[in-house]
Amino acid sequence: MPASSISANRPLLYFTVVAVSLYLLWFFGYEKYLEPDGRLDAFLTHNIASASAMILRWLGFAATVPSTQPNMILLANVPTVVIGPYCDGMVLYALFSGFILAFPSGTAGRKLWFIVLGNILIYAVNIGRIIALCLNHHYSHKTVEFNHHYTFAVIEYSFIFLLWIWWSSRLALPGRSAGHSAPAAQQVYG
C-alpha cells in the first residue's frame, strides 16, 4: 500500500484500532467480569430507581423503592417499573464514551470533559425515560411494552446520536467550541 494511501486513511485506521481495542476491553472487562459479578449493575439500577422515584415524588406522585427490591419503583404501592441491567445505561455510557475516544480528532482534555458531560446527560435522559415509563404504566399500562422497546429506545439513541454529531461537527475540530461555527468566507474586492 503506498505511503500516501496510508496517510490518507490514518484517521480511519486510528478509529478502527481504538474501537476494536475498546470493544475487547468491554468484552473482557465488563461481559466476563463485571456483568457476572452484578454489583455494578445492581448499584446503577438502584441509583436510577431511587433518583426516578425522588423526582416522581417532587412531581406529586406517591413513588417508592422497596428495600426488598431496590431496582423496582412503586407508584401508590403498585409495582410499576423494574429496572433491569440492560436498562441501567451502562451499555449507553460505554458506547458513547467509546465513540468519543475513538474519534480521530480532539484533544484528550476536550474528550474527557465531553465524555463526562455526555454521560451525565445520558444519565438524565435515562432517568426521564424511567419516569415516563412509570407514568405510562400508571395512566396507560397497555402501551408500556411498545413504548419501552421502541418509543423510548428511539429517543435515547437519537439523543446519543445528536451528542455524537455535536462532538464530531463542533467540538472535536481544533479551534471550535460549542455554538461557534467556522467564520463565513469574506468576499474580497479588488
Residue 135: predicted pLDDT: 97
Domain chopping of the chain, boundaries: 3-171
Q: How confident is the model at residue 190 (pLDDT cuts 50, 70, 90)?
A: very low
Q: Does residue 143 have a pLDDT over 90?
A: yes
Q: Which residues pair with 78 in a beta bridge?
A: 75
> What is the mean predicted confidence (pLDDT) over 122-150?
96
Q: How confident is the model at residue 6 (pLDDT cuts 50, 70, 90)?
A: low
Q: Which is more confident, 123 or 95?
A: 123
**Cβ–Cβ < 8 Å for 144, 133:** yes
Closest by Cα among 116, 124, 123 to 91:
123
